[in-house]
């Protein structure tokens, strides 16, 4: 622990003196820290350069990908009719496709008017005396309203279907309402066009009864009132036939119905099965609908098993309606031969076109053209140019040396290992790869060397399009010739500098890392020495101050002894003399006295 001293007795500013000594002796530490800052900046610049060179390398790898110059694209002259996809082995050319019919799915709907009942609904029409709450499948309708010809009809929980019709007939709406209990249809008649509903309505009575404006004086329900509650126990949900538990089959796949199951439970069970159909409940028609999951003509069959649910849901053959799916019909290149597919996706085999699939989306005629994918190839070339220019710009910035000395130099301005990198890249990309081909160098693609630096200009789209359309094999050779292609020649230069194991950049970064570690160790050692030196100086000055304090104390004692010693000596002398004088005086008196006495005698 250092000793804090103030130089009280010495009169010196000891702290400043020690700080000045330590600062002077710390200059080597400061120099090493400055060096480490420079090294860290160089390391950061090398990392960024390595990343940029890596982007150039990646762009070259993409250009060298086996399928790039073999890639094809298919365009449809009428995208509304459909679109095509191709593989690399597709044959270039144009094919006319005329779609006359689209494939559709097979649909089975529960119920039909010529089946068990006079309508196709799952539920029996409610009686006129039925509670309006149950008719509308609601727990309470109190206060809900709807309007006819501007007259508001208000519902209450005590209403029946008949009492609601009576309220309509007794209102100022000017219509006559009647109900057909065999079909569940409600009819409204008037002497003038009937206007149903308003923006203030809160009841869906008109919607559930399928009473909609038609601009006439007579409106009748199209389906009839009454619906299955899909979330209610199926045995009490309003089916015409009470279902029994057990199984029924869809396309031969067993579906289990258990006590308490709802219509939604049955729908979910069908959809999760392997029956190959999708089940939904049509709330408007009050029908269960099964649609095949694949297109084309095929059957959907439903049969009772150990339960009667197939019949209760009106899905059996005699009590349902089946609309068989249609195939896609089409012709090619004006041929009279009509081809077909059970799917809207026309395969290469169905088209007779190698590597081409066509997805029809509407009927009509379109021309599908298969050609090299020049857009994708052009994008890959542009990506290389962009990555190359970014790397060259970064190299120029890192190696920059200001001739005037007024601006900071680049982070790698002293790195002689990188001096020839930009020139090497420029030389390769500006050279010719062939003496006979139509496309021999980048300039033939509309890419030229920039006269002011080592970058290259952006690609001229017209020249590039022409080269890719008319000389694709030459363009491929420009990049991918195993001997002279840019993919290999540029990559070989990049690997010298950017190889992850032996490249110049990783080697320099390793050296920098080692040097920084060595400097840090040196700094740590020197810092310990500075701390020891500071403590030693503090102790030395503390001893000096103590010595000065002791000297001053002794000086005071001596000074006090010589002044008070003179006084004391005087006093002592006086005392001694006094003492001595006293003794001599007494003796002298005696002697005088004796002499006088003798004389008198």
Q: Which pLDDT score is estimated for 572?
A: 41
Q: Which pLDDT score is estimated for 584?
A: 38
Q: Which pLDDT score is estimated for 223?
A: 87
**What confidence tens digit (pLDDT) does each residue in 243-263 have?**
999 999 999 999 999 999 999
- Quote the tokens at residue 364: 């009509």
* Cα 581 to Cα 584, 589, 595, distances in angstroms: 5, 12, 21
In sequence order, which ranges of 213-364 are alpha helices (DSSP H)? 263-271, 309-312, 348-351
Domain over 132-220 is classified CATH 3.30.70.380:
no
- Sequence-separated (6 or more) residues with CB below 8 Å from residue 171: 148, 151, 153
Closest to 101 measured CA to CA, from 325, 293, 326: 326
**What confidence tens digit (pLDDT) does each residue in 202-250 have?**
999 999 999 999 999 999 998 888 888 899 999 988 898 999 999 999 9
Give CA–CA dist 176/116, Å, rounded: 31
402 vs 9 pLDDT, higher one: 402
CB 327 within 8 A of CB 349: no
SS3 call for 30: helix
Residue 566: pLDDT over 70: no
- Region 67-73 average pLDDT: 91
313-317, 350-354, 596-600: least confidently modelled range: 596-600
Q: Which pLDDT score is estimated for 10?
A: 59
Q: Which CATH architecture has domain 106-110+233-323?
A: 2-Layer Sandwich (3.30)
Measured torsion, CA atoms of residues 387, 389, 395, 401, in degrees rounded to the nearest 10: -160
Which position has the token pair 């006084």? 567
Detail the DSSP E strand segments found in 283-439. Answer: 287-295, 302-304, 320-323, 328-332, 339-341, 345-346, 356-360, 364-372
CB 485 within 8 A of CB 434: no
Q: Which pLDDT score is estimated for 586?
A: 38
- How many separate helices (H) and strands (E) can be counted in the chain? 14, 20
pLDDT bucket at 129, cuts 50 / 70 / 90: very high
* Cα 279 to Cα 104, 171, 276, 287, distances in angstroms: 16, 43, 10, 11
CB 369 within 8 A of CB 52: no
The number of CA neighbours under 13 Å toward the Cβ of 131 is 11
Residue 582: pLDDT over 50: no
Put the strands of the sheet holding 287-295 in their side by side order: 277-282, 287-295, 105-110, 320-323
- Sequence-separated (6 or more) residues with CB below 8 Å from residue 564: none
Burial 513-548 (b: 16+ CB within 10 A, else e): eeebeebeeebeeeeeebeeebeebbeebbebbeeb
DSSP string, 185-196: EEEEE-SS---B
- Quote the tokens at residue 533: 């030196």
- Quote the tokens at residue 108: 């089975």
- Region 429-451 average pLDDT: 84
Longest dimension (CA), the chain: 202
Give CA–CA dist 389/383, Å, rounded: 10
570 vs 290 pLDDT, higher one: 290
- Region 491-504 average pLDDT: 93
Closest to 183 measured CA to CA, from 128, 232, 101: 128
Could you count the other beta carbons within 10 Å of the beta carbon of residue 412?
22
Most trustworthy range by pLDDT among 2-6, 56-60, 565-569: 56-60
Q: Which pLDDT score is estimated for 565?
A: 47
Q: Which pLDDT score is estimated for 560?
A: 66
Which position has the token pair 């400061």? 30
CB 122 within 8 A of CB 313: yes
Q: Which pLDDT score is estimated for 7?
A: 52
The number of CA neighbours under 13 Å toward the Cβ of 301 is 10
Tell me the three-class secondary structure of 489-554, residue by residue.
Answer: HHHHHHHHHHCCCCCHHHHHHHHHHHHHHHHHHHHHHHHHHHHHHHHHHHHHHHHHHHHHHHHHHH
Closest to 150 measured CA to CA, from 225, 200, 191, 114: 200
**What residues does 131 pair with on adjacent strands?**
160
163 vs 461 pLDDT, higher one: 163
Residue 12: pLDDT over 80: no
Q: What percent of the chain clears pLDDT 70, i.e. is strictly above it?
A: 91
**132-220 matches 106-110+233-323 in CATH topology:** yes
- Quote the tokens at residue 183: 């079909």
3 vs 381 pLDDT, higher one: 381
The sign of the dihedral angle between the CA atoms of 261, 265, 267, 271 is negative
Give CA–CA dist 419/431, Å, rounded: 20
418-427, 452-461, 478-487: least confidently modelled range: 452-461
Predicted TM-score of the model (pTM): 0.62
CB 442 within 8 A of CB 431: no
- Region 84-108 average pLDDT: 94
Domain ranges of the chain: 30-67+375-505, 74-100+330-370, 106-110+233-323, 132-220
What is the average pLDDT score of the chain?
Answer: 88
Determine which helix (DSSP H) or strand (DSSP E) holds 382, and give its type and residue range.
helix 374-398
Q: Which pLDDT score is estimated for 577?
A: 34
């Amino acid at each position: 622990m250092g000793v804090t001293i103030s130089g009280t007795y010495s009169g010196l500013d000891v702290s400043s003196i020690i700080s000045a000594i330590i600062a002077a002796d710390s200059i080597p530490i400061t120099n090493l820290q400055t060096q480490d800052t420079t090294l860290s900046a160089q390391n950061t610049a090398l990392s960024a350069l390595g990343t940029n060179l890596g982007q150039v390398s990646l762009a070259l790898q993409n250009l060298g990908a086996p399928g790039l110059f073999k890639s094809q694209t298919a365009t449809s002259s009428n995208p509304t009719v459909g679109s095509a996809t191709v593989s690399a082995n597709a044959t270039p050319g144009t094919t006319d496709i005329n779609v006359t019919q689209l494939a559709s799915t097979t649909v089975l709907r529960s119920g039909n008017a010529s089946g068990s009942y006079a309508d196709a609904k799952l539920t029996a029409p409610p009686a006129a005396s039925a509670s309006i709450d149950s008719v509308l499948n609601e727990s309470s309708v109190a206060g809900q309203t709807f309007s006819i010809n501007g007259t508001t009809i208000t519902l209450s929980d005590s209403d029946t279907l008949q009492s609601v019709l009576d309220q309509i007939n007794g209102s100022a709406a000017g219509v006559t309402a009647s109900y057909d209990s065999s079909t569940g249809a409600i009819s409204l008649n008037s002497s003038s066009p009937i206007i149903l509903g308003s923006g203030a309505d809160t009841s869906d009575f008109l919607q559930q009864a399928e009473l909609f404006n038609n601009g006439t004086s007579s409106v009748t329900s199209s389906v009839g009132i009454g619906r299955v509650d899909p979330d209610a126990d199926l045995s009490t949900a309003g089916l015409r036939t009470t279902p029994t538990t057990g199984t029924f089959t869809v396309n031969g796949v067993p579906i289990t119905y258990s006590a308490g199951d709802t219509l939604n439970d049955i729908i979910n069970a069908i959809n999760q099965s392997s029956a190959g159909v999708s089940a939904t409940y049509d709330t408007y028609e009050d029908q269960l609908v099964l649609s095949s999951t694949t297109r084309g003509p095929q059957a959907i069959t439903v049969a009772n098993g150990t339960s009667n649910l197939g019949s209760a849901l009106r899905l059996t053959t005699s009590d349902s309606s089946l609309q068989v799916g249609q195939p896609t019909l089409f012709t090619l290149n004006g041929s009279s031969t009509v081809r077909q597919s059970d799917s809207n996706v026309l395969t290469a085999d169905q088209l007779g076109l190698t590597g081409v699939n066509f997805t029809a989306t509407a009927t009509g005629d379109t021309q599908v053209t298969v050609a090299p994918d020049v857009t994708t190839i052009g994008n890959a070339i542009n990506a290389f140019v962009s990555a190359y220019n970014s790397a060259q710009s970064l190299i120029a910035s890192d190696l920059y040396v200001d001739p005037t000395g007024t601006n900071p130099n680049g982070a790698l301005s002293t790195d002689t290992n990188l001096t020839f990198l930009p020139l090497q890249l420029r030389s390769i990309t500006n050279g010719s790869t062939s003496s006979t081909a139509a496309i021999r160098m980048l300039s033939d693609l509309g890419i030229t060397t920039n006269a002011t630096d080592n970058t290259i200009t952006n690609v001229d789209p017209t020249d590039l399009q022409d080269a890719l359309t008319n000389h694709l094999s030459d363009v491929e050779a420009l990049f991918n010739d195993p001997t002279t292609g840019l993919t290999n020649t540029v990559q070989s230069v990049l690997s010298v500098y950017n190889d992850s194991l032996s490249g110049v950049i990783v080697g320099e970064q390793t050296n920098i890392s080692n040097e920084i570690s060595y400097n840090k160790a040196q700094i740590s050692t020197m810092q310990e020495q500075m701390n020891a030196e500071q403590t030693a100086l503090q102790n030395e000055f503390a001893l000096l101050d103590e010595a000065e304090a002791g000297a001053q104390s002794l000086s005071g004692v001596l000074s006090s002894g010589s002044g008070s010693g003179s006084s004391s000596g005087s006093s002592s002398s006086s005392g001694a003399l006094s003492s001595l004088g006293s003794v001599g005086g007494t003796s002298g008196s005696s002697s005088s006295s004796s002499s006088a006495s003798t004389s008198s005698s």
